Amino acid sequence: MSLQPSGYRPSVTGYVEKGGFNRDTAYIPDRITEDGRRPEHGNADVPLWPVEPGRYRLVASWACPWANRAIIVRSLLGLEDVISMGVCGPTHDMRSWTFDLDEGGKDPVLGIERLQQAYFARFPAYPKGITVPAMVEISTGEVVTNDFPWITHDFFHEWREFHSDDAPDLWPAHLREEMDEVNKRVYTEVNNGVYRCGFAGDQESYDAAYDRLWTAMDWLEERLTDRRYLMGDAITEADVRLYTTLARFDAVYHGHFKCNRQKLTEMPALWGYARDLYQSPGFGELTRFDQIKAHYYRVHTDINPTGVVPKGPDPDVWLEPHGRG
């Protein structure tokens, strides 16, 4: 029996209800923590797993903004040698993300063709959409968690013993209260706001979603006019969270999701900021525009029934000087 509501969209784990898009945020809540300790933040009753190098595999996709966030944070913190990574292809069917990029269509470490197999290994009747990113225990092949906000939070707070010496402080203690507020607004109004526009089921819902998105985009443009990064002079996780949406804006969201008041390239502060991040280590080299476009334009057949993927925009514009140093 499926617990998915009518109108459910497995590719984005959400559903359309009364014309508006609602994201399903009931993820697998388990946490991976230092020595399996009970963390001070988050749900106090979630199952805990201990931090252990080589025990877990991050399964992600270059195409998905939520997964791209995990890929970037893992790189920035220097966790590549302690948390391995499997990458799914950009397209999938209604059942699952698949390992199309690997030889034989199988993840070389987990030995599976579909991420769904890791979910079913632990939850045989798992009723929801199969999402990336996901942390999978290598020895059992079982999914541990797909709760993407906590995955990157715990990469920073719980895996600190294994960070590289030059890892950035992605969660500065003196900024955390303000950063929580910024992250919340970016998530609800921008990261998720573009999806509300793209999957709106009627004009009224679309118009409301469009207005909310652009109110937030104008706020970001103003905020970034007199500061280099969202929280000041240094990159934090807040920037990673915003970047993965901005990187997809002109290529996908502007046209495909009808977020077309302006292009990112027409917003001076935001466009300079986005290029600044793209040209920073850990961002541009982990952004795959071909994978991004293939995912959205081929998977969302209700929005783009032809499956035709646009050739533009030219990715070389991301290498133009940003002037924000």
Is 27 one of the annotated active-site residues of the chain? no
- 50 Cβ partners below 8 Å, 6+ apart? 32, 33, 34, 35, 36
Binding residue positions:
97
Determine the Cα–Cα distance for residues 167 and 184; give it in Å rounded to an integer.
24
Q: Is 277 helix (H, G, I), strand (E, B) or coil?
A: helix
Among 8, 15, 56, 64, the active-site one is 64
Helices (H) and strands (E) in the chain — how many of each? 9, 9
Is 195 one of the annotated active-site residues of the chain? yes
Strands 134-137, 142-145: pairing is antiparallel
Cα 59-131-94 angle, rounded to 5 deg: 120
Is 252:90 a contact under the CB 8 Å cutoff? no
**Helices 65-76/148-157 angle, 10° precision:** 0
Q: What distance, in Å, lies between the first and last C-alpha atoms of the chain?
A: 55
Determine the Cα–Cα distance for residues 132 and 130; give it in Å rounded to an integer.
7
Binding residue positions for glutathione:
97
Is 97:125 a contact under the CB 8 Å cutoff? no
Select from 17, 208, 51 the least CA-distant residue to 135: 51
Count of CB atoms within 10 A of residue 5's CB? 12
Among 56, 195, 296, 297, the active-site one is 195
Active-site residues, by number, are 64, 195
